[in-house]
């Protein structure tokens, strides 16, 4: 019996780009383009008529942009949407509006890589829990009370041997925000890898910095990691934790992809296991595949406390599941409780 193909609708006002996307997807034996739409009004009718598993969605379109379309369409018909855009701001707004993932629009020389990434994104989106892991949540009582507890036990302005490491992929931009936005300003230094294209990570760090009590920056090679600072791995650069007589710092270096990614969560977690050992706390969030699972096991084996996001709140329960099955997760928790678990452990 043949496996069911992933039914995909392509939404774009450009006939050329509709053809580019359709051709790229139809080259895959497990994906079928069941139709195309030229604007959001056309897309609405075809979604209701054809009931696709996944849609690819342009943002800049006549009559209504893709972000407004998501806000209006998803309450009516939940469908896994992948936004295609060259703008990091638009990508993050689309994710906040309910898109599962985004793909960076390609230049002429990037078409082959774009086709590969698009097919991979469609496969991931077809398994996603649409609407899971949204950044607007009601914190649990433990998460709400823990900031005051941590403030009373950490000395503002002082370095600490503790370090937090977080890894995520699909659905991670919103999930990371849920975890870090309410951490107090004197939380131990935090390093994060989110699978994201080059050029997008700086915008994402700036976005987090506006809403977090901690300072958030895109990591630069040699940056010191201190209490109250979050360093986000740059796209196409592996992020590693280092330590010298002055304390923690990071290296940010180009390199080959590891477990299919650069930056790789495994690379970060392995370095944290080597450097911080039992002073580390690790968190693995929503994402397809297994990046970070072996690194999290290494962290646990070196004495770190590790947390995996639970299935019910993941957009894609892939990375946390692999880490859990390998035995690398000390505690599983719903997304909205993870900050509270971290802070309770610090206390």
Give catalytic residues, as residue numbers: 169, 195, 291
Q: How many helices (H) and strands (E) does the chain have?
A: 12, 14
- Name the β-bridge partners of 217: 231
C-alpha count within 13 angstroms, C-beta hemisphere, residue 260: 13
CA distance 54 to 122: 7
Task: Collect all residues with Cβ–Cβ distance below 8 Å to 3 and sequence separation of at least 6.
Answer: 30
State CA 282 to chain mean position distance: 15
State CA 70 to chain mean position distance: 19
CA distance 73 to 76: 5
CA distance 237 to 254: 4
Which uninterrupted H or E stretch holds 308? strand 305-309
For residue 120, count other CB atoms closer than 10 A to its CB: 17
- Name the β-bridge partners of 322: none
CA distance 91 to 85: 7
C-alpha count within 13 angstroms, C-beta hemisphere, residue 309: 33
Provide the terminal-to-terminal Cα distance of the chain, rounded to the nearest Å: 55
Structure tokens at 180: 């870090």
């Amino acid at each position: 019996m043949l496996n069911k193909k992933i039914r995909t609708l392509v939404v774009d006002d450009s006939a050329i780009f509709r053809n580019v996307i359709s051709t790229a997807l139809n080259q895959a034996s497990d994906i079928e383009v069941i139709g195309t739409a030229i604007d959001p009004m056309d897309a609405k009718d075809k979604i209701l008529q054809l009931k696709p598993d996944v849609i690819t969605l342009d943002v800049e379109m006549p009559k209504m942009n893709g972000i407004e379309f998501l806000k209006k369409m998803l309450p009516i018909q939940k469908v896994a949407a992948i936004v295609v855009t060259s703008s990091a701001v638009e990508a993050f707004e689309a994710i906040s509006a309910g898109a599962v993932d985004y793909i960076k629009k390609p230049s002429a020389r990037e078409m082959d890589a774009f086709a590969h990434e698009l097919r991979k994104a469609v496969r991931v989106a077809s398994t996603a829990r649409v609407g899971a892991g949204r950044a607007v949540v009601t914190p649990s009582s433990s998460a709400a009370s823990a900031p005051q507890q941590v403030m009373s036990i950490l000395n503002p302005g002082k370095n600490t041997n503790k370090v937090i490491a977080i890894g995520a992929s699909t659905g991670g931009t919103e999930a990371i925000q849920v975890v870090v936005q309410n951490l107090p300003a004197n939380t131990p230094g935090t390093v994060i890898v989110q699978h994201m294209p080059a050029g997008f990570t700086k915008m994402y760090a700036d976005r987090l910095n506006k809403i977090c009590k901690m300072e958030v920056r895109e990591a630069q090679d040699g940056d010191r990691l201190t209490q109250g600072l979050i360093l986000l791995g740059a796209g196409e650069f592996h992020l590693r934790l280092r330590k010298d007589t002055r304390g923690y710092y990071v290296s940010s270096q180009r390199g080959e992809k590891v477990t299919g990614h650069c930056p790789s969560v495994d690379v970060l977690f392995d370095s944290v296991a080597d450097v911080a050992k039992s002073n580390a706390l690790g968190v693995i969030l929503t994402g397809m595949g297994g990046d970070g699972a072996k690194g999290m096991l290494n962290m646990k084996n070196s004495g770190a406390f590790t947390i995996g996001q639970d299935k019910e709140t993941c957009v894609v329960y892939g990375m946390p599941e692999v880490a859990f099955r390998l035995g690398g997760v000390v505690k599983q928790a719903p997304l909205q409780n993870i900050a509270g678990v971290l802070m309770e452990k610090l206390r």
